[in-house]
């Protein structure tokens, strides 16, 4: 009999920035436009994120005016190459279409999180004050870490014993550790909830908490030290951090409740034999070195002739017609599952997976895939695909793909992160002249933008598409703005 698994398992919400901070709403879109190239736009937010959330090349990574103009020229040039790609009737590949659609639908799910998560959170100032004080605490703790072999003994344990009593009951040779813990410590969520969000009691036994698949944790609080911020900036920083974390935590709870209701009675059943065979074959692709896996993905998107061993799904496609699972009373064969994965790459909850763990972790990843698919379907019914923020993200990735593809057709190295070729710069100059009449730049807005010169590579955590922004376009190093029209999009 196939083994049933409830689809709503654990909802992990971990985005780099709060959904409620996106400002490209319909009401403010016009005021946020920095440049327009035909029907393609570059917003102020786009410009800043493309410059600060991915590394810029050396020739324009500074915060001076010349480097800022090179950055603007580069983003305008990306739009020009995309227009030229469309004018020449070139087409993007199936893999590239899936990438664009996947980015669009990921943005739709983020708006679902905003609507049914962040927008539900009410801030209680007194509560934030309390949490801010807790965040400055430093705890003195005693703890033990037990092997999973003690699980049966733990299940039979009850009472108000102390940590020492617990050790004597299980194994007197178990070592008790002492540790000082603050909010920056890497800890499991249950422990963080007690120390920095709940009620803390000295010399009270807390546990059991399961840390990974092999360890079981118990701890006692011996005491704590309260630290205080001195300067106004320190106080404001603490307030902002605590408020942000609280909002993220509460938004996750609201959203989990919403998704649980959405997924009620949705069951996924795996065919044991087919799924095990699928897992073995897929494991050979996923359980590889990180750089090889990324190279394989890049090869599939850009259809490079040079392929890695990991890029081949041919062995899996041989079983394409085999029914691998049933979801919501509908059967899915291997090919149908792979089609879903093409636009929603699998996200594994456990970031360190051994071959022995892979099959079980794959079940969770596939379950999360179907959960996200259902959320996406709901987002379409709410018309979120027509939200201007989603449309801008879709167009941004579409233009990036088309521009990069045309560079490849021109013969320039697509993955170059050094400097554009002279030939490419000359082509961009000619396109600037050719399309000058349809280029508009709000120079007043541009003058007010300040960029950081610190290299960053910002990514989403636990999302199908980790990259927050497309790579910075290596197209031109020209800093002269001698094309287009100066306008004010506020008028």
pLDDT, tens digit (0-9, with 9 covering 90-100), for 80-99: 999 999 999 999 999 999 99
- pLDDT < 70 positions in the chain: 1-31, 151-160, 213, 289-313, 412-417, 491
Which residues, in sequence order, are CB contacts of 393 under 8 Å at separation 6+?
103, 104, 107
pLDDT at 309: 44
Contact 405, 456 (CB under 8 A): no
d(CA 407, CA 410): 5
Which residues, in sequence order, are CB contacts of 196 under 8 Å at separation 6+?
131, 134, 135, 137, 183
pLDDT at 77: 97
pLDDT at 170: 73
Delimit the domains of the chain by residue range.
Answer: 1-122+233-491, 137-226
Tell me the two tokens of residue 235: 């106080």
Cα–Cα distances (Å) from 26 to 30, 32, 115, in that order, read 8, 10, 16
d(CA 56, CA 43): 18
Cα–Cα distances (Å) from 300 to 273, 279, 291, 425, in that order, read 29, 21, 14, 28
pLDDT at 27: 52
- CA 348, distance to chain mean position in Å, is 12
d(CA 68, CA 481): 11
pLDDT at 301: 59
Angle at 163 between CA 161 and CA 165, to 5 degrees: 55
d(CA 355, CA 279): 10
Q: The pTM is what?
A: 0.85
pLDDT at 375: 97
**DSSP letter (8 states) at residue 19:** G
pLDDT at 15: 47
pLDDT at 173: 78
What is the per-residue pLDDT across 346-395, written as a single tens digit (0 to 9) for each?
999 887 888 888 999 999 999 999 999 999 999 999 999 999 999 999 99
Using alpha carbons, select from 141, 166, 140, 136 the residue that is nearest to residue 153: 166
Using alpha carbons, select from 36, 73, 86 the residue that is nearest to residue 402: 86
Strands, E assignment, 131-257: 137-147, 177-181, 205-211, 215-226
DSSP string, 70-139: HHHHHHHHHHHHHHHHHHTT----HHHHHHHHHHHHHHHHHHHHHHHTGGG----HHHHHHHHHHHTEEE
Tell me the two tokens of residue 63: 């915060």
């Amino acid at each position: 009999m196939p083994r049933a698994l409830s689809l709503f398992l654990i909802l992990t919400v971990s985005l780099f920035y709060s959904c409620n901070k996106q400002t490209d709403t319909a009401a403010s879109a016009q005021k946020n436009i920095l440049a327009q190239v035909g029907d393609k736009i570059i917003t102020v937010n786009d410009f800043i994120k493309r410059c600060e959330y991915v590394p810029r090349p050396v020739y324009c990574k500074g915060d001076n005016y010349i480097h800022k103009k090179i950055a603007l020229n580069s983003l305008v040039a990306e739009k020009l190459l995309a227009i030229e790609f469309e004018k020449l009737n070139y087409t993007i590949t199936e893999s590239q279409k899936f990438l664009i659609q996947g980015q669009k639908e990921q943005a739709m799910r983020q708006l679902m999180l905003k609507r049914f998560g962040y927008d539900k959170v009410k801030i209680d100032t007194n509560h934030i004050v309390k949490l801010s004080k807790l965040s400055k605490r430093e705890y003195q703790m005693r703890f033990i870490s037990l092997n999973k072999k003690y699980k049966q003994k733990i299940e039979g344990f009850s009472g108000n014993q102390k940590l020492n009593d617990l050790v004597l009951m299980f194994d007197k040779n178990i070592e008790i550790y002492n540790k000082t813990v603050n909010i920056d410590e890497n800890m499991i969520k249950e422990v963080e909830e007690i120390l920095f969000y709940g009620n803390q009691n000295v010399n009270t036994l807390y546990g059991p908490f399961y840390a990974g698949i092999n360890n079981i944790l118990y701890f006692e609080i011996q005491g704590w030290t309260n630290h205080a911020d001195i300067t106004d900036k320190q106080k404001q920083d603490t307030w902002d951090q605590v408020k942000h974390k609280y909002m993220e935590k509460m938004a996750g709870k609201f959203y989990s409740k919403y998704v649980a209701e959405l997924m009620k009675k949705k069951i996924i059943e795996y065919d044991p034999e087919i799924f095990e065979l699928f897992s073995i074959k897929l494991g050979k692709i996923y359980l590889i070195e990180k750089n090889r896996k990324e190279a394989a993905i890049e090869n599939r998107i850009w259809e490079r002739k040079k392929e890695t061993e990991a890029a081949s799904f041919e062995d899996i496609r041989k079983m394409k017609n085999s029914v691998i699972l049933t979801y919501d009373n509908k059967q899915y064969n291997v090919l149908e599952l792979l089609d879903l994965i093409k636009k929603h790459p699998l996200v594994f909850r456990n970031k360190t997976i051994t071959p022995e763990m892979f099959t079980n972790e794959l079940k969770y990843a596939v379950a999360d895939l179907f959960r996200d698919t259902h959320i996406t379907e709901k987002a379409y019914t709410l018309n979120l695909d027509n939200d201007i923020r989603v449309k801008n993200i879709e167009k941004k990735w579409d233009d990036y793909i088309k521009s990069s593809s045309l560079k490849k057709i021109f013969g320039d190295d697509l993955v170059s992160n050094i400097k554009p070729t002279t030939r490419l710069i000359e082509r961009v100059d000619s396109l600037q002249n050719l399309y000058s009449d349809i280029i508009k730049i709000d120079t007043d807005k541009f003058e007010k933008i300040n960029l950081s010169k610190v290299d960053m590579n910002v990514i989403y955590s636990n999302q199908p598409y980790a990259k927050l922004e497309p790579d910075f376009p290596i197209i031109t190093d020209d800093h002269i703005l001698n094309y287009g029209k100066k306008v004010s999009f506020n008028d």
